[in-house]
Amino acid sequence: MKPIGHTEKFFKEIKDELKKGSTQKTHPFRYFTLGTVGLDRFVRQRTVVLRDFSEDLKCSFYTDFRSKKIIHIKENNRVALLFYNSEKLLQIKIEGLATIIKGSAKEEKHGQNIPEQSRKEYTTALAPGTPLKDAAPIEYLNEENHFCVVEVTPYKIEYLKLQQPEHIRVRFSNRDDLWSGEFLVP
């Protein structure tokens, strides 16, 4: 899993920054834009929280099993993740395959980490995105919880840093569990 040559330090930087994003609440990589392909084949994007970044580079977030993004992922699990740090002018683009984790020990382990108030968000009587007549009140159910975890396994990662005298752009690709890196014209 090691990119060779001069690209290696950028690979390490990606890993370090994403790890920080998953563990530090104020880190710019705490939030990322998740792109999915809608059933009508239009791109759909939204912000989600990076909850975990594993040794093998899997990025996890939490969501409601009834949400549109889950409907999209069930149909097409190719997703895009976009991270941006405005202080470092650093952008990380990830393409990967999403796996929905529900009804397993892994989901339960993650579920135990979330505070009561956040847990409630996954118990709305109506599915997320259902039109409402008014802003409030929203009805919650106690017996049903639609919490699930989505784990994204990257197969392509692109690093771009804007800096002087020259910007740096590096593309990492995974083939047969081996990462390789190459510099690109920024």
Ligand X SMILES: Cc1cc2nc3c(=O)[nH]c(=O)nc-3n(C[C@H](O)[C@H](O)[C@H](O)COP(=O)(O)O)c2cc1C
Residues that bind ligand X (CB under 6 A): 31, 44, 46-49, 61-63, 67-69, 128-129
What does the block give as tokens for 42? 């239009």
| E strand or H helix that includes residue 181 | strand 178-184
Q: Name the region of 41 (left: φ>0; alpha: ψ -120 to 50; beta: rest).
A: left
| E strand or H helix that includes residue 108 | helix 105-113
**Minimum distance between the CB of residue 40 and ligand X, rounded to whole angstroms?**
13
Residue placing its CB nearer to ligand X in the complex, 6 or 74: 74
Residue placing its CB nearer to ligand X in the complex, 112 or 164: 112
**Minimum distance between the CB of residue 39 and ligand X, rounded to whole angstroms?**
12
**Minimum distance between the CB of residue 22 and ligand X, rounded to whole angstroms?**
12
Residue placing its CB nearer to ligand X in the complex, 7 or 36: 36
Residue with tokens 């505070």: 115
